[in-house]
Chains A and B, each alone.
Chain A
């Protein structure tokens, strides 16, 4: 699913190199990038020459103008024409091919003539929407008053039935409203990650790991004490298609916001970002939500046959007008699926990106300050999409799409705490934790600590502490100075 991979093979590199070469008089003759100058293509028909003139067409086949020129030079005219024709035909074959004949009578729905334009479903399945149908309150065998309820028997229970941050359970919107819940966790266990798949197991693993509750030494705040937290359980997703879960997740997360809650979504892979951000826009209004994406991946793949997947969450949100490119701040991008063309697309969309290259070039403190000021200058409502891959695999081996050279946990925690304290965060998500990739507790613990950093920030803000880079005078210095 890395459709954009190699789309434009090092285009910027090539442009930069050509510019560098062209200033040298000696190199002028070889500096021109097109095949036309590198090889004799005069014998090729005009449409073939036009095809070759677009470097993107060549990059699809792992070719540069120079590599192709060498291949053409080794062939006679007919051979060269046949080669280019095969490239053009293959490019054409990539497009949707409609059926030209009717199917045979015994041909099944999974054996279509031509390309399958849509996945057929069994619409008379008795349980078509069954997993997403909510149990009406009136069906409860035993009535209870609305409000979050604890699963702990004891006041100080050591290892209770696992819930996020040890929070009480809420099952319905009425529970969130009655409990005046500030933050509600919700699991979205889908794992179609384009990397390793196991994010479906993240919600239960993070629930059973500590780290999301307790006193925060930096801010001197215990978010569990200051905030009303709840664990809203998991949402039903379709395990055979990201598409069929999108509307349900969107509706349920929007409903949480309607209840006055800051949703903390635990994925699931990064395809979850589409319905969560859309839900925020549904509640706060399109264009009224800024997105901070902390991720090793830019997730802006385009031109795909599938409508939803993890690697195109950002591009689909922008295409649908749900969020403006300029209202997205990205930090940590370094995935090798990103090409020059993709970064150019991001720049054209106005996305404020801070790749690991920027961090290497400018230093973390500078990037942190710039990013925070950009977030503050954007829409008032801020949604944080935290993909665990933004952390270095040393801290988070269990990432569906790990990538070396990432943030340290000592960069991530202050970053997240500051975003959540200094801006109005209306939602947070922790995505693509794939537990089976880490034989240790480490990733789960770090993921919970990152969520705790945001809870701390929200608690600070609720208590009136919004100062930049605030640290508690009590905890940060023995003398109070």
Chain B
């Protein structure tokens, strides 16, 4: 996801400004070489021991953009004299000294403005404006609504996720329903990977289903919005059948795969929608099937992973988060959006920071964001690491980390981790991303070599791509992981397995012993 720029400026730049300005609050003071740098509140933060399962990480709220402890502000004598001369009220001077005025502007500019004020009236007007801006920005009981209220008297309050009474359809035995009229062929109904459809856990159990693919058409994320059409675009695109060349495995022959339809979404509320997604992912996982969620935006990582933790236990699941964005946003008025899922997941202790592995990061985040991620113990792999060490080294490291701490793995794949050359159809694209020839092997390897208990592919916004490319590549990612899961079922879990048949023509001994 991309942060809304205004929000970014207000939330992230403020602390940056704050930090740089803190270090040299008074430009004249900086000239004195004897003066030591002021200690920062960050110096006191110590990396704790690894988070216990089910515990809230110690440093999770250690620093939140815009919510750090407010350092008091020194008012130099000449400015204080000016304030006194202007008869600025004591409570207003206390406000200036508290440092809260930094919300309105940097102390440097503030002091400059006060020094340059031409009259006592101007001094007072200036201080009043800073206080007004600060107070306006904060939540105020009575003035601001603390919640977004629904009309609970609506007779159609739950229409958006009302389940269809069984009696409306002809009776049928539980089990996946084929939509094909013919022995071979699909009869025109687009389903994920050309699979039969299932609607209930009973269908999944009766069909001994290995993988159930669920659409979740949620798209309130920032940037361009069209992820709502991601699930159907992937249903309609091809590329999910047949045999995978590296392994010579045909996932649809090895696995029982179904299309589990779509989760109900309230298109005006992420907060409501994720409850239903969590219920459905949980009900799939409880049958022993592997849920695959096709989004939809990256808010979905929260209900997906929370559902996995509901079933496999808090702290028992690791997550690989492919994304050009960190998605650890926090401190915003909304509890969840597509930039905050990881924070929400960790804050509710579903996944430990130590078991979070991010790959492909490159959107424009400041140092504080990475410092915080390092402090709480997350594993991040940026495109800077890829540039420095090469993709192969990063790939090996990620696969090792994926199996290190946890028995279970969830993969959350935001398609914007790929370069826009491969996926122009995404809401918040970022240049300089992974190639499909990097993405396909890592998905196959992770799904074969780790115990993947679910994955999601999110942020596919097909309207932004007038070609077939984004949807087809989305399916290729899904196909790679399904291949890996099928390989695992067949026992092919050794590192970096290749079919000796397809990776070598065998007419001579060209590679010799280099198998």
Residues of chain A having any CB pair with chain B under 8 Å? 1, 3, 61-63, 71, 82-83, 86-87, 89-90, 93-97, 106, 108-112, 115-131, 133, 135-136, 138-139, 141, 191-192, 194, 196-198, 200-201, 236, 238-244, 303-307, 309, 436-437, 439
Contacts and interface: CB of A to CB of B under 8 A. Distances in A.
B165 A306 contact: no
B150 A307 contact: yes
A117 B152 CA distance: 6
B464 A126 contact: no
Contacts of B269: 119, 241, 306
Given A93-B158, A436-B463, A117 B149 contact: yes
B36 interface: no
A405 B27 CA distance: 67
B103 to A, nearest CB: 7
B126 A194 contact: no
Contacts of A138: 122, 125-126, 129
A352 B133 CA distance: 45
B35 interface: no
27 contacts: A3-B159, A90-B165, A93-B162, A95-B157, A110-B271, A111-B278, A115-B152, A116-B272, A118-B147, A118-B149, A119-B150, A119-B272, A121-B145, A122-B331, A127-B7, A128-B144, A131-B7, A198-B225, A201-B224, A239-B4, A239-B222, A241-B334, A305-B152, A305-B266, A307-B149, A436-B224, A439-B466
Given A110-B344, A123-B139, A306-B150, A128 B333 contact: yes
Contacts of A196: 226, 463
Contacts of B103: 126
Contact of A125 (B139, B151, B158, B268): B139
Interface residues of B, number: 79
B286 interface: no
A126 B150 contact: no
Candidate in B152, B336, B348 with the most chain A CB atoms within 10 angstroms: B152
B99 interface: no
Contacts of B380: none
Nearest to B103: A126
A400 to B, nearest CB: 10
Contacts of A240: 220, 270, 334, 337
A130 B347 CA distance: 24
Contacts, number: 222
A96 B104 CA distance: 42
B6 A115 contact: no
A422 to B, nearest CB: 38
B162 A305 contact: no
B126 A120 contact: no
Contacts of A96: 150, 152-154, 157-158
B159 to A, nearest CB: 5
A129 B159 contact: no
Interface of B: 4, 6-7, 10-11, 54, 66-67, 103-105, 109, 122, 125-126, 129, 132-133, 136-139, 144-160, 162-168, 219-220, 222, 224-226, 228, 266-272, 274-275, 278, 302, 306, 331-337, 344, 347-349, 463-464, 466
A120 B167 contact: no
Candidate in B126, B144, B219, B274 with the most chain A CB atoms within 10 angstroms: B144
A192 B144 contact: no
B268 to A, nearest CB: 5
Contacts of B268: 1, 192, 241-242, 306, 309
Contacts of B219: 197
Contacts of B162: 90, 93-94
A94 B156 contact: yes
B248 to A, nearest CB: 41
A409 to B, nearest CB: 24
**Which 10 pairs, one residue from A and one from B, show the smallest C-beta to C-beta distance?**
A126-B66, A118-B147, A197-B225, A86-B165, A119-B148, A136-B129, A96-B152, A128-B139, A123-B139, A83-B167
Contact of A115 (B157, B331, B337): B157
A141 B106 CA distance: 12
A116 B139 contact: no
Contact of A61 (B10, B144, B149, B165): B165
Contacts of A97: 158
Contacts of B137: 126-130, 133
Contact of B271 (A120, A131, A191, A309): A120
A219 B159 CA distance: 51
Given A119-B148, A129-B138, A304-B154, 11 more contacts: A90-B163, A95-B157, A115-B157, A120-B271, A121-B146, A122-B334, A126-B66, A131-B6, A239-B4, A241-B334, A305-B150
B155 A303 contact: yes
A219 B306 CA distance: 63
Candidate in A3, A109, A196, A240 with the most chain B CB atoms within 10 angstroms: A240
B139 A120 contact: no
Contacts of A194: 267
Contact of B157 (A89, A94, A139): A94
Contacts of B222: 239
B117 to A, nearest CB: 9
Contact of B333 (A95, A127, A200, A236): A127
B333 A111 contact: no
B206 to A, nearest CB: 22
A62 B67 CA distance: 51
Contacts of B344: 108, 110
A292 B158 CA distance: 33
B166 A121 contact: no
Contact of A86 (B160, B167, B270, B272): B167
Nearest to B141: A123
Nearest to B347: A108
Candidate in B4, B122, B267 with the most chain A CB atoms within 10 angstroms: B267
A364 B403 CA distance: 70
B275 A123 contact: no
A10 B125 CA distance: 64
Contact of B133 (A126, A133, A238, A244): A133
A141 B334 CA distance: 32
B480 to A, nearest CB: 29
Nearest to A97: B158
A86 B275 contact: no
Contact of B147 (A61, A120, A437): A120
B463 A303 contact: no
Contacts of A198: 224-226, 463
B264 to A, nearest CB: 12
B104 A118 contact: no
B225 A94 contact: no
A107 to B, nearest CB: 9
B333 A244 contact: yes
A121 B333 contact: yes
Contacts of A63: 168
B115 to A, nearest CB: 14
